[in-house]
């Protein structure tokens, strides 16, 4: 084998080890504690508690075009782009509201009250309390795209309609992985529902 081939193989091995290390390093981040109220096939009806989110307004509900832009805006807030230059721990999932008023939100760690959190430096970011919600959720794997999100959203909507469950909110996309996670990727689509 020539020197270039050895270099290439070494680079690939180092890259794979780095990706696995980064995936494991961020695998234990906080997620909201919800209660499963019911399951209908692969769909879960979940009750989510109140939570605080840092949210960026987006130009459109196009995941492929706006997802990374919204992520960068809110990530800047938690990485110190705020009035205290305070770093705030990353949580999962990242939530994209894909309705008429599209937004991308990070859930703030549960240790914080609204009054504990610093003001954003960017006027596109708002920090606010979200009320408790009941969501119908369908999970899927792999990397996300608008096409995949719409495919699973249609499956979720069909299941809800066939079970006479009223949808009362816009489509939500919830992503749980960093871009460098290449295995065990977890994504969800959800609608707020009227559940008695």
pLDDT at 179 over 80: no
Alpha carbon of 108 to those of 69, 92, 94: distances in Å? 19, 9, 10
pLDDT at 14 over 70: no
| pLDDT (tens digit per residue) in 156-165 | 999 999 999 9
Beta-bridged to residue 125, according to DSSP, are 56
| Tokens standing for residue 190 | 């959800």
| pLDDT (tens digit per residue) in 43-86 | 999 999 999 999 999 998 889 889 899 999 999 999 999 999 99
CATH superfamily of 35-194: Regulatory factor, effector binding domain (3.20.80.10)
Cβ proximity of 188 and 137 under 8 Å = yes
Element at 51 (helix H, strand E): strand 51-57
Domain-wise residue ranges, the chain: 35-194
pTM of the model: 0.84
State the Cα–Cα distance between residues 187 and 47, nearest whole angstrom: 18
| pLDDT (tens digit per residue) in 86-113 | 999 999 999 999 988 899 999 999 999 9
């Amino acid at each position: 084998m020539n020197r270039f081939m050895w270099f290439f193989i070494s680079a690939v091995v180092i890259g794979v080890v780095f990706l696995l290390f980064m995936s494991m390093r961020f695998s234990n981040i906080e997620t909201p504690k919800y209660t499963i109220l019911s399951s209908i096939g692969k769909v879960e009806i979940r009750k989510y508690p109140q939570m605080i989110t840092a949210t960026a307004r987006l130009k459109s509900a196009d995941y492929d075009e706006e997802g990374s832009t919204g992520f960068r805006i809110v990530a800047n807030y938690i990485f110190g782009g705020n009035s205290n230059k305070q770093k705030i721990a990353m949580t999962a999932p990242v939530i994209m509201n894909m309705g008429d008023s599209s937004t991308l939100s990070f859930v703030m760690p549960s240790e914080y009250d609204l009054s504990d959190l610093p003001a954003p430096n960017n006027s596109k970011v708002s920090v606010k309390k979200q009320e408790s919600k009941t969501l119908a959720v369908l999970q899927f794997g792999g990397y996300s795209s608008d096409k995949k999100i719409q495919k699973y959203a249609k499956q979720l909507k069909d299941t809800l309609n066939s079970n006479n469950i009223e949808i009362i909110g816009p489509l939500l996309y919830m992503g749980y992985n960093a871009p460098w996670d290449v295995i065990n990727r977890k994504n969800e689509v959800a609608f707020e529902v009227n559940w008695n």
